[in-house]
Amino acid sequence: MINLGRFNLLGIQINAVDYDGALAQIISAAKEGRPLGVSALAVHGVMTGVLDDMHKYRLNDLELIVPDGQAVRWGLNLLHGTKLKDRVYGPNLMLKTCQRAAEEQIPIFLFGGTEELLQQLGQRLTRLFPDLKIGGMRASKFRTLEPHEKLDLIAEITASQARIAFVGLGCPRQEVWAFEFRKQLSMPVLAVGAAFNFHAGLLPQAPPQMQAWGLEWLYRLAKEPRRLWARYVLLNPLYLTMLFFQWTGLRRFDPENSMAPSSETLYG
């Protein structure tokens, strides 16, 4: 098990952990009823915080940020000598968490996406892990929630007796959701993004070799060019440039140089 602590990557505090290190924190928090905001960040997720001081605050306030992308893992190894041998890929972390939850009879809650997606996701998860208890699921309204709707959602998740919540809203909305909900829910909240679509069978994953080479972004760009072109064509080179600046000391990236949100977003 690897858990080396948090390291500054372009001002975002990333945990240098492996799957076992991340799972240990998630399961421990679930059993103790303790808030734990978890996100798996690839380059796009990191850059949402680099380019937005308010979102940087949110990300750095979450308790566990794992290196989802190979380029994020490479960045930690380059800047801090962490010698991580593998990333902690969000979709795999979701499956490993569900497996442990099934083994230890820890109910889960699924939030985000459409009703159809959640039904397919729930069916596939219970086929993979027959002992998994899904306490409840709720589709996204794809808009900002009213304050009373947030309270209703918190009450629904609490009443489900779930002790781990998975959120699939896409980056950065899901990280905003985890930031705003985790303490009131008193449980691990995992922002896992495209994992919902992958595991529901609605979106294909990149071949393992492309993932290992850090080319998953290219596969996804080929599948959804109109939606993802700006994310990868613009942000990937910017990430590499900023990583070079931090590595050479040409620029400092201070995690404390951020701005606390003045109000809640209440997206759901």
Q: For residue range 79-129, what is the model confidence (pLDDT) as tens digits?
A: 999 999 999 999 999 999 999 999 999 999 999 989 999 999 999 999 999
Angle at 64 between CA 53 and CA 96, to 5 degrees: 135
Q: Which pTM was predicted?
A: 0.92
Q: For residue range 15-74, what is the model confidence (pLDDT) as tens digits?
A: 999 999 999 999 999 999 999 999 999 999 999 999 999 999 999 999 999 999 999 999
- pLDDT of res. 145: 83
pLDDT confidence bin for 209, thresholds 50/70/90:
confident
Half-sphere exposure of 100 (CA within 13 A, CB side): 18
d(CA 234, CA 17): 28
Closest CA to 29 of 183, 236, 171, 136: 183
CA distances from 168 to 60, 172, 187, 194, 255 (A): 20, 10, 16, 7, 26
Q: Check pLDDT > 70 for residue 267.
A: no
